A and B are shown apart, each in its own frame.
Chain A
């Protein structure tokens, strides 16, 4: 016990030192979508679910995959791939749903929304200083949803801005909807 505590104390001290060196580091939950790595601030992720049976909602906005029941509460599941114009593959056993929530003070609606991802990876820590601006690198379409790029362990991680997705902003018209060829019904 005391050994574990010592270790954690040491780790915390190291982290604190690094935080002072580079600025406060925020935690991001990384996930894979279509062979790319994305991440969102972990503070907004309330829960990670395995894919439950999904019910399609006719006439819903184009990025709504459907609704699921989370312990009796009906939750809308959105497909980030459709917003980010990524190719869609059928769900696998690694597919997950991130239950995310953005309170009004963070520019959201407070609604808990499910975000479909192909695979959940792990948590990264980035200080603001370590995040590159995405505007220089990405096209303007993607830049709408990506706040910045973080690099760690040789990976390039696209940090996703949840505000346009959970902030109640209108989804783009379905006319811009990418081809659904690869997707099969849930």
Chain B
């Protein structure tokens, strides 16, 4: 929970800082009496829009409400209906300030500040003269969660409004779906509900649900009575409530409060919102979004009667801090030490003839202990494993949101959601996967018209597949979109000086597509709000490498793109190349190994006292690892023996490591070196290579950094550019 909140805070912080910069630039242009840069206004609009989505997703209701209002204002400005004046700018700067206050409150675990937000909201309303006859707004009469209203699309809101204006009743159907059958079950519910009204939207309820199931809140507008709906739509795990009208007949004192749609927080009192503002939040009510635990519970909330719907959230699961599991694992290790001490005693007792019987008994007990200890260890490892479905759920939300914003229709087809991976990996996976999916929707899936011209179904498909393969988990993100245009990638790569035109011939498809993982690489002319700013794929690759994984791209123009991520099941096990240096075995994590080739000493040249060789037209810095580590060469190694170069890559940098022998690939368990060796650079840890022998795991990034950052990096790069021209 804490991590999630921290992530939200830091992400929001970053956006707000960007927003402040844009506002300053706007201010400057206003002062110089220049024309207003529309791109800047667009940027601010996007920033606020992102904040709205983000805070809605995380249930930070006031921030969401504020963002919604700001978005309105900026939208009007964008469309030229509101002029950018210093006064409007004042309000916007004030908003940045208030955002900061909200974040500070969240960070301190306090509820969002109410007064400052409300003050700002009323100022905001003054600065935008809205033509709407807001007093007649039907939404304000209903007890709807502002967090929900903030995430409704314009269309959904419009439908909601229309229905309410026609006096249609509003109902919430909360259904628990089994994740395995959700698609069919949801369709079934939709078809059953259709004769009775209109399904306006459905969202995860944010509570209940577990690894196998999820609770959805379905908002239904219907003229039927609650009883009729309850009968007609009855089923297992289905609960239907009417959404109460504020101050209406539903809120009679004797009647239990009706459910709040989209949020689980109980409302104590719900004073009618200010009539001219349908999103206003009355002080003290502090509505909660779907993800409540981000905010600390407020004391008064506990006094309120919890509704039946919320009580059912008690599941058969507990949340455990992963550090507690690490602690348990360490205890198991300690127990193993006790066990071996016991084993020695057992042997001694068995060795004494007069204690033979006791010895046998002790031996039996010891064997039992041994077995249970093994079970305990694998049990704890198993607890760390969680189904990938956890991330996939989040991605489904993202797909829905992004595809709507792009006005593209996208079906997400998920397989293998039950595949399990280490919890730490799952946490780290959501960002890279989100980037990949955004890219697929933004760059991959074509607009509806183009798809029609190309003879593809109107709705694009993104397939998210996961499956286990040996000690690894494979994740595929596949779209049936436009594919990656290699020519455009190449053109951009040449323009950015990543490759010279003469080198292009030698490149394979893999090399070409590899450019998309370069920092800042983009082929799209204009950046839009979601992806295409050229940040993304390099971050994806870095994140995946950090987890010891690799990412591959395969793309066919006009048919689609497939990204394959291969990850270790647990963080502790990685694939490594075992090499011999000066008679000693070392492991090089495969994540940083690009290729290995036979070392040709005659190809070595010296630039600025540094050994380099030429590999496919590019200059490759060399590092003789034996000398680098200060290892004396064993007399047995003759200088004529064949040696190898292992090319390691870290980000943009390449380094050829000269080793004596390649032994092969092996899955290894990385263990930390003790505190005494903390200061030793160049090793990521150690591992057992069998036969009780410990091999050191080489920290390729550290070595590359050390070699290249030794002051010669720039000169080397200069040589690379100049030397080949």
The chain A residues found within 8 Å of chain B, CB to CB, are 46-47, 52-53, 55-61, 64, 67-69, 71-76, 78, 109, 111-113, 168
User: How long is the Cα–Cα vector from A168 to B630 in the complex, in angstroms?
Assistant: 24
B 663-690 contacts with A by CB, 8 A: 671-677, 679-683, 685-686, 688
User: How long is the Cα–Cα vector from A47 to B336 in the complex, in angstroms?
Assistant: 13
Cβ contacts A to B, 11 pairs, < 8 Å: A47-B337, A52-B692, A53-B691, A53-B692, A58-B682, A59-B629, A61-B679, A69-B686, A72-B671, A76-B676, A111-B675
User: How long is the Cα–Cα vector from A72 to B669 in the complex, in angstroms?
Assistant: 10
A-B interface, 9 closest residue pairs, ranked by CB to CB distance from nearest: A58-B629, A55-B694, A76-B676, A111-B675, A74-B686, A76-B674, A74-B671, A69-B694, A53-B693
Contacts of B584 in A (CB 8 A): 55-56
Asked if A60 and B680 make an inter-chain contact with CB atoms under 8 angstroms apart, the answer reads: yes
The B contact surface, by secondary structure, is mixed
Asked if A74 and B673 make an inter-chain contact with CB atoms under 8 angstroms apart, the answer reads: yes
User: How long is the Cα–Cα vector from A61 to B693 in the complex, in angstroms?
Assistant: 21
Min CB gap B238→A, angstroms: 51
Q: CB-nearest residue of chain A relative to B691? A: A53
Contacts of B677 in A (CB 8 A): 57, 60, 64, 67, 76
Contacts of A52 in B (CB 8 A): 692
A-B contact sample (16 more), CB < 8 A, given A53-B691, A57-B696, A67-B677: A47-B337, A53-B692, A53-B694, A55-B696, A56-B584, A57-B683, A58-B629, A58-B682, A59-B681, A59-B682, A71-B333, A75-B674, A109-B675, A111-B674, A111-B676, A168-B675
User: How long is the Cα–Cα vector from A175 to B333 in the complex, in angstroms?
Assistant: 38
Contacts of A72 in B (CB 8 A): 333, 336, 671, 688
Q: CB-nearest residue of chain A relative to B682? A: A59
User: How long is the Cα–Cα vector from A168 to B691 in the complex, in angstroms?
Assistant: 31
Q: CB-nearest residue of chain A relative to B679? A: A61
B side interface size, CB within 8 A? 29
User: How long is the Cα–Cα vector from A91 to B681 in the complex, in angstroms?
Assistant: 28
B 690-720 contacts with A by CB, 8 A: 691-696
User: How long is the Cα–Cα vector from A55 to B675 in the complex, in angstroms?
Assistant: 17
- Is B358 among interface residues, defined by CB-CB distance under 8 A? no
Asked if A71 and B336 make an inter-chain contact with CB atoms under 8 angstroms apart, the answer reads: yes
Contacts of A69 in B (CB 8 A): 686, 688, 692, 694
Asked if B676 and A113 make an inter-chain contact with CB atoms under 8 angstroms apart, the answer reads: yes
Min CB gap B92→A, angstroms: 53
Contacts of B631 in A (CB 8 A): 56, 58
User: How long is the Cα–Cα vector from A104 to B221 in the complex, in angstroms?
Assistant: 66
Contacts of B673 in A (CB 8 A): 57, 67, 74, 76
Asked if B686 and A67 make an inter-chain contact with CB atoms under 8 angstroms apart, the answer reads: yes
Contacts of B691 in A (CB 8 A): 53
Contacts of B378 in A (CB 8 A): none
Min CB gap A124→B, angstroms: 23
- Is B29 among interface residues, defined by CB-CB distance under 8 A? no
The chain B residues found within 8 Å of chain A, CB to CB, are 333, 336-337, 340, 584, 629-631, 671-677, 679-683, 685-686, 688, 691-696
Q: A59-B681, A71-B337, A71-B340 are in contact. Are A64 and B695 (CB under 8 A)?
A: no
Asked if B674 and A74 make an inter-chain contact with CB atoms under 8 angstroms apart, the answer reads: yes
Q: CB-nearest residue of chain B relative to A68? A: B694
Asked if B674 and A113 make an inter-chain contact with CB atoms under 8 angstroms apart, the answer reads: yes
Q: Which of B340, B630, B679 interacts with A58 by CB under 8 Å?
A: B630
Asked if B680 and A57 make an inter-chain contact with CB atoms under 8 angstroms apart, the answer reads: yes
Contacts of B695 in A (CB 8 A): 55
User: How long is the Cα–Cα vector from A168 to B336 in the complex, in angstroms?
Assistant: 26
Contacts of B679 in A (CB 8 A): 61
User: How long is the Cα–Cα vector from A171 to B693 in the complex, in angstroms?
Assistant: 26
User: How long is the Cα–Cα vector from A50 to B688 in the complex, in angstroms?
Assistant: 18
User: How long is the Cα–Cα vector from A76 to B672 in the complex, in angstroms?
Assistant: 11
Asked if B630 and A59 make an inter-chain contact with CB atoms under 8 angstroms apart, the answer reads: yes
Q: A53-B692, A72-B688, A73-B671 are in contact. Are A78 and B676 (CB under 8 A)?
A: yes
Asked if A55 and B686 make an inter-chain contact with CB atoms under 8 angstroms apart, the answer reads: yes
Min CB gap A78→B, angstroms: 7
User: How long is the Cα–Cα vector from A59 to B674 in the complex, in angstroms?
Assistant: 15
Min CB gap A106→B, angstroms: 15
Contacts of B340 in A (CB 8 A): 71
Contacts of A168 in B (CB 8 A): 675-676
Contacts of B681 in A (CB 8 A): 59
Q: CB-nearest residue of chain A relative to B695? A: A55
Asked if A73 and B333 make an inter-chain contact with CB atoms under 8 angstroms apart, the answer reads: yes
Q: A55-B686, A55-B693, A68-B694 are in contact. Are A61 and B674 (CB under 8 A)?
A: no
Min CB gap A147→B, angstroms: 21
Contacts of B333 in A (CB 8 A): 71-73
Most buried by B among A59, A72, A109: A59
Q: CB-nearest residue of chain A relative to B585? A: A55
User: How long is the Cα–Cα vector from A46 to B682 in the complex, in angstroms?
Assistant: 30
User: How long is the Cα–Cα vector from A64 to B686 in the complex, in angstroms?
Assistant: 15
User: How long is the Cα–Cα vector from A56 to B680 in the complex, in angstroms?
Assistant: 12
Contacts of A113 in B (CB 8 A): 674, 676
User: How long is the Cα–Cα vector from A117 to B695 in the complex, in angstroms?
Assistant: 23
Contacts of A73 in B (CB 8 A): 333, 671
User: How long is the Cα–Cα vector from A58 to B688 in the complex, in angstroms?
Assistant: 17
User: How long is the Cα–Cα vector from A123 to B92 in the complex, in angstroms?
Assistant: 77
User: How long is the Cα–Cα vector from A66 to B234 in the complex, in angstroms?
Assistant: 70
Q: CB-nearest residue of chain B relative to A52? A: B692
Min CB gap B445→A, angstroms: 48
User: How long is the Cα–Cα vector from A138 to B675 in the complex, in angstroms?
Assistant: 31
Q: CB-nearest residue of chain B relative to A54? A: B694
Q: A56-B584, A58-B629, A58-B631 are in contact. Are A74 and B676 (CB under 8 A)?
A: no
User: How long is the Cα–Cα vector from A74 to B686 in the complex, in angstroms?
Assistant: 7
User: How long is the Cα–Cα vector from A72 to B672 in the complex, in angstroms?
Assistant: 11
Min CB gap B632→A, angstroms: 9
Contacts of A74 in B (CB 8 A): 671-674, 685-686, 694
User: How long is the Cα–Cα vector from A56 to B685 in the complex, in angstroms?
Assistant: 13
Contacts of A59 in B (CB 8 A): 629-630, 680-682
Min CB gap B343→A, angstroms: 11
Contacts of B685 in A (CB 8 A): 74
Contacts of B680 in A (CB 8 A): 57-60
Contacts of A76 in B (CB 8 A): 673-674, 676-677
Contacts of A67 in B (CB 8 A): 673-674, 677, 686, 694, 696
Q: CB-nearest residue of chain A relative to B629? A: A58
Contacts of B688 in A (CB 8 A): 69, 72
Min CB gap B352→A, angstroms: 13
Contacts of A58 in B (CB 8 A): 629-631, 680, 682
Q: CB-nearest residue of chain B relative to A171? A: B676
Contacts of B337 in A (CB 8 A): 46-47, 71
Min CB gap A73→B, angstroms: 7
User: How long is the Cα–Cα vector from A74 to B676 in the complex, in angstroms?
Assistant: 11
Min CB gap B675→A, angstroms: 4
Asked if B676 and A61 make an inter-chain contact with CB atoms under 8 angstroms apart, the answer reads: yes
User: How long is the Cα–Cα vector from A69 to B688 in the complex, in angstroms?
Assistant: 7
Contacts of A111 in B (CB 8 A): 674-676
User: How long is the Cα–Cα vector from A75 to B676 in the complex, in angstroms?
Assistant: 9
Contacts of B693 in A (CB 8 A): 53, 55
Min CB gap A2→B, angstroms: 15
Contacts of B692 in A (CB 8 A): 52-53, 69
Most buried by A among B680, B693, B694: B694
